[in-house]
């Protein structure tokens, strides 16, 4: 088999039980991760616990059991212990790695993808996703092992009592909930406040309702009954209309829509209107600036964020840096520039003073905190952040051919930019996690940008579209 890149913008991802998300690869990823990270281990290691440890969490896909156990087998084969915490949000694993002084954390999840897919993403001992260089090192070991059908020289592998073991951690969810409540002001509560919580039948289906109940809220649950095959299916952050409808039906204060691994958030206001990641970023950035807590009065977004958000921030004395698409790249830009807030239109929101990755529950709590402090409903706060009309067309592709090599597409993009006359944007990119090309156009004339997006999408479909 020809070597190919395993890690994308958010770990390894693909169809479950097909390369690279199969038991054989997962076994080698576990072993390679243990080998690389243990070789790099430094002063973070607990002196009272000599054996290295790696936390594994997962979402609710039926295939997550297979991937979890294969990873655990590979890790144990290298003499490290595995801490199994079961279904928990991705940000919970990032927190637990630090909280439990572990050497690394692995999340088995394909985030917002349908249940047929799955993925593997890895956190270092500090709770941050691995840099590209370390992923490349792991990837090389995995390919070496797959080609040799073993993991190096067998005589170097631990035997007898040095083989690792897997340990179930029962209180992991409670630890994460306590960490979230600790960021709230003293005396904060939601006594009898009706809130809709849609967990997308995913990793947060237990901890999210429990968190808001412990704060006193009256929780109306949606998407909290996983069966292994219904994750993200007409629920969650990809389908916020479900929570929005429940908000109107039950007269709730707001609706919270999470994705399959709960690292992204979309809200619904009290009228049932959807509030996307750009609007949430605008609300939070303005409040952080007013409190004097927004580092350098600057946030990080991506090219997908609405031009209206950029103009709103500029009017309020806030600068905006656009990083590459993907929450890992947003975070890299934040760390490089010493910034403490950023995110994506899709709902990945990073408050780095409190967490090392996007966290849907943390973001929801921060918005609710702003609502309580200002005395404003979410609809009032949302009105502060006017957005330009924006449309997006996704095209499934058979190959990710460079856009520069597609002359018909290039011509249509230039035509659209000419018609926008500097009062909008055209942005196209291949997805880093799916075989898709995304066409996004924004401007003042919704009818025009919709027509232009469809033209460009059709040209992509003709040039590189899947059969």
Residue positions annotated with a catalytic role: 111
Sign of CA dihedral 131, 135, 136, 137: positive
DSSP code of residue 240 = T
Closest by CA to 106, choosing from 41, 45, 31, is 31
DSSP code of residue 21 = B
Dig out the tokens for 1 from the structure. Answer: 């088999």
Dig out the tokens for 185 from the structure. Answer: 């002001």
Measured CA distances, 66 to 16, 21, 24, 242 (Å): 9, 10, 10, 31
The answer to whether 100 and 113 have CB atoms below 8 angstroms apart is no
Site of tokens 């009954």: 225
CA atoms of 168 and 423, how far apart (whole Å): 55
Hey, how many other C-beta atoms are within 10 angstroms of the C-beta on 254? Answer: 24
The answer to whether 125 and 103 have CB atoms below 8 angstroms apart is yes
Closest by CA to 266, choosing from 243, 246, 247, 245, is 243
φ and ψ at residue 182, rounded to 5 degrees = -70, -20
């Amino acid at each position: 088999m020809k070597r190919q890149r395993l890690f994308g913008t958010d770990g390894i991802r693909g169809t479950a039980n097909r390369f690279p998300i199969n038991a054989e690869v997962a076994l080698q990823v576990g072993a390679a991760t243990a080998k690389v990270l243990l070789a790099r281990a430094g002063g973070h290691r607990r002196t009272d616990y000599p054996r290295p440890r790696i936390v594994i969490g997962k979402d609710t896909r039926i295939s997550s059991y297979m991937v979890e156990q294969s990873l655990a087998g590979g890790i144990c084969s290298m003499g490290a212990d595995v801490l199994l915490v079961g279904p928990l949000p991705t940000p919970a694993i990032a927190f637990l790695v630090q909280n439990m002084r572990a050497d690394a954390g692995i999340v088995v999840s394909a985030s917002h993808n349908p249940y047929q897919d799955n993925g593997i993403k890895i956190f270092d001992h500090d709770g941050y996703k691995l840099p590209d260089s370390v992923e490349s090192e792991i990837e090389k070991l995995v390919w070496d092992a797959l080609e040799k059908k073993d993991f190096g020289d067998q005589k170097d592998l631990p035997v007898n009592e040095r083989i690792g073991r897997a340990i179930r951690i029962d209180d992991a969810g409670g630890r994460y909930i306590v960490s979230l409540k600790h960021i709230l002001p003293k005396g904060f509560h939601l006594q009898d406040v009706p809130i809709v919580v849609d967990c997308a039948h995913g990793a947060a289906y237990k901890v999210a309702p429990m968190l808001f109940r412990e704060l006193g809220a009256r929780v109306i649950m949606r998407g909290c009954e996983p069966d292994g095959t219904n994750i993200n299916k007409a629920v969650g952050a990809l389908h916020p209309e479900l929570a929005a409808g429940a908000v109107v039906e039950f007269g709730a204060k707001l609706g919270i829509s999470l994705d399959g691994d709960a690292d992204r958030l979309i809200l619904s206001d009290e009228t049932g209107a959807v509030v996307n990641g750009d609007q949430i970023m605008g609300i939070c950035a303005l409040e952080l600036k007013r409190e004097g807590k927004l580092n350098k009065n600057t946030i990080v977004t991506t090219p997908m964020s609405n031009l209206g958000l950029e103009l709103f921030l500029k009017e309020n004395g806030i600068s905006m840096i656009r990083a590459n698409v993907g929450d890992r790249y947003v975070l890299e830009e934040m760390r490089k520039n010493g910034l403490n807030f950023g995110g994506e239109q899709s709902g990945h929101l990073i408050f780095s003073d409190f967490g090392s990755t996007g966290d849907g529950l943390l973001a929801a709590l921060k918005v609710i905190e702003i609502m309580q402090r200002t005395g404003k409903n979410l609809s009032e706060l949302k009105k502060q952040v006017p957005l330009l009309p924006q449309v997006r067309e996704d095209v499934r592709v058979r190959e990710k051919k460079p856009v520069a090599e597609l002359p018909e597409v290039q011509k249509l993009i230039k035509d659209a930019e000419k018609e926008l006359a500097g009062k909008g944007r055209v942005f196209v990119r291949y997805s880093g996690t799916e075989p898709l090309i995304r066409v996004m156009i924004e401007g003042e004339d919704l009818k025009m940008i919709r027509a232009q997006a469809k033209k460009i999408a059709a040209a992509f479909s003709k040039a590189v579209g899947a059969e």
